[in-house]
Amino acid sequence: MKRSKIFRSLILSVLIGAVVVTVLPITGTTAGKKNQREEIYKKLSVFTQALTYIEKNYVKEVDPQKLIYGAIKGMVAELDPHTTFMPPDFYKEMEIETKGEFGGLGIEITMKKGILTIVSPIEGTPAYKKGLKAGDKIIAIEGKPTRGLTLMEAVKKLRGKKGTKVTITIQRDDEKPFDVTIVRDIIKVKSVSYRMEDPKAKIGYVRIRSFQEKTSKQLDKALSALEKQGMRALVLDLRNNPGGLLSQAVGVSDRFLGKGKLVVSIKGRNGANEVKFMAHKEHTFPYHPMVVLVNAGSASASEIVAGALQDWHRAVIAGERTFGKGSVQTVYPLSDGSALKLTTAAYYTPTGRSIQEEGIIPDVEIPSDITEKSEGNKTVIREESLKHHFAQGVIKPEKKKGKKGESQKSPEDKLKDYQLKYALEFLKGWLLINNKEIFGGEKAAQR
């Protein structure tokens, strides 16, 4: 009896928290909305009854927290794909990723056809020093198979305190699987990397992997270093950048746009509570002709940057259509250390475009492989592919092509980054004819 009372108390406390989140936007609205709120309270009594039956009569004893978390996950699953409930451990991982510093191995990983695969080792980290390579498959962690794990579960197993060891089993190409024992260290992930891509033409290259707390400051250092090397043009690479912090997307755009220019606007439910983010004079770097590279992996914050630079004619956008995530999420921490990541607004580019579903259409479309004339041969996931996504408009399905014929290109050519190659050739051409107006230079700035 005592346990039952505690259980019902836990249910009520969690439900009250859920109701607050649900009804806050309804407060002070019409009578119809009031009735809707009352209906929610009625349904909550049904919810409580069902949980009580499970607690009393289910064949096995069930952890109350597991039931409550499961109920919240089920609730948010009825919303859009970017609204999620994060238990305490998942929420901590998200905070760690945002800050860009954690104890681990120093590898970027992804799930490729259900197999945990290394995207790339980070230079100077324990994984890099142990010789791990891009494309290596992690088939086991501490002797336990990784198949069936989610990406977050795998991350949790690989991360840990500095000085602790973890043994992973690697499958590399057709070689026999082998074990690698790595001592974890503090990994400081730089979201920005840079180099002088073409020293002769003085074309700089900056890649932003994600938008973290220090991205804008890291970009400042990168641009300053390239300026000292005499940079005359810039390639900004946002490919496979999944997004991140809205504030940092605004900050990055701010570096390239003049004072008072609109970067992005966000609007809440029914277009209410519009907030506009503007560029500032003190953040603007010297003008340079610029190409921004994007692809289907460029999402959210990446699309904000690409959309702002495209609308102001500040850069030529090249590559493939972006992911198409035009919504903003707010994280609400909950009392037990968990959190709710809730879609609270939609964002719009400076000209008022919503890129939800459609994405950013490049000024110049270039496939990642020049032998591919469309995406019909590739499995490409974008916003419109996701269950429960917001329907902004009708997206025409992309035509599928038959099997590709034999390529006339050599294996060496296939390894080249054709999108980057295009960006370099394009900038070289414009530097030669010295026509900056197309990039939104001095004349365009007066418009």
What are 281's two structure tokens?
């004079």
Cα–Cα dist 184/165, whole Å: 6
Choice among 300, 302, 327, 338 that is catalytic: 300
DSSP string, 47-80: HHHHHHHHHHHSSS---HHHHHHHHHHHHHHTS-
CA gap 34, 298 in Å, rounded = 41
First to last CA, the chain: 74
Alpha-carbon dihedral 87, 88, 89, 91, rounded to 10 degrees: 80
Pairing of strands 185-188, 101-104: antiparallel
DSSP 281: G
Asked if residue 3 lies in contact with residue 324, where contact means CB atoms within 8 angstroms, the answer is no
Of the listed 325, 338, 341, 354, which one is catalytic?
325
Q: Is 325 a residue of the active site? A: yes
| 363 has catalytic annotation | no
Please answer whether residues 7 and 14 qualify as being in contact, where contact means their C-beta atoms are separated by less than 8 angstroms.
no
Helix (H) or strand (E) holding 180: strand 178-183
Selecting among 185, 237, 254, 311, the annotated active-site residue is: 311
User: How, if at all, do strands 203-208 and 192-198 pair?
Assistant: antiparallel
Query: Which one-letter amino acid corresponds to residue 366?
Result: I
What are the phi and psi torsion angles at 414 (to 5°)? -65, -25
Task: Confirm if 362 and 315 have CB atoms less than 8 A apart.
Answer: no
CA 187 – CA 101 distance, rounded (Å): 6
Catalytic (active site) residue 220: no
Are 238 and 298 a contacting pair, CB within 8 Å? Answer: yes
The whole-angstrom separation of Cα 43 and Cα 313 is 52
User: How far apart are alpha carbons 291 and 307 in whole angstroms?
Assistant: 13
Active centre residues (catalytic): 300, 311, 325
